[in-house]
Amino acid sequence: MTGEPSRPAARRRGRPARAEAAEGPGARERILAAARAEFAERGYDKTSVRGIAKAAGVDAALVHHYFGTKEQVFAAAIELSFAPALTMPDAIAGGAEAGVGERMARFVFGVWENPVSRPPLLAIMRSALTNDTAATVLRGLVERRLLQRVAGELHVPDPEFRAQLAASHLIGIAMLRYVVKMEPMASADLEEIIAMVAPTLQRYLTQP
């Protein structure tokens, strides 16, 4: 025994004591859920890392530890919110080429019509329309996880351009129907919309 007082255990560098104490089980998931809610309610511009941390019940340092910058938190949050739409390439590839336009329209509008998946998508669209950083993050996700995969399944010239044409058609309709809520588009029968849109998508995706 030397009589010297014992020293406290060393903390990991870069992790404030408050952040370590607040981490607990499921901290990353709580932060991500809080980020989705904050971005949905406030939009990208008015959401802060500090606000996300407060909503998740953690220190702001812990948000930075898991996700880095506000932009990176947003990217993780929208990828989670966008998850239902990310299976679209598999859905449209699972059938005969003659029905690819209808499958694409039915899948996309099905995601928008779902009361669970629609609010996060609305939040993403509104943020992307009002903030360049949010638009850049969304564009990267859509290109990387959706359009490149769709283009890889097409057997036509300029498949990336064709995939973008189809996506722009659907996004335009979604904007009018779900974001702007312009009549008569907002209250039109979904089957009627699909019937009118599917042949155009089919042409984009399959016509030589």
The predicted-structure confidence for 29-87, as pLDDT tens digits, reads as follows 999 999 988 888 888 888 999 999 999 999 999 999 999 999 999 988 888 877 877 88
Higher local confidence (pLDDT), 22 or 102: 102
198 pLDDT more than 70? yes
CB atoms within 10 A of CB 27: 19
- Which percentage of the chain shows pLDDT scores above 90? 48
How many CB atoms neighbour CB 116 within 10 A?
8
Q: Are 11 and 54 in contact (CB under 8 A)?
A: no
Largest pairwise CA distance in the chain? 86
Q: Crossing angle of helices 159-174/190-206, nearest 10°?
A: 160
pLDDT above 70 covers a percentage of the chain that reads: 88
Q: What is the pLDDT of residue 24?
A: 60
Distance CA 200, CA 193 (A): 12
Q: How confident is the model at residue 138 (pLDDT cuts 50, 70, 90)?
A: confident
Classify residue 85 as exposed, middle or buried by CB count within 10 Å of its CB (0-12, 13-18, 19+): buried
E-strand stretches of the chain: none
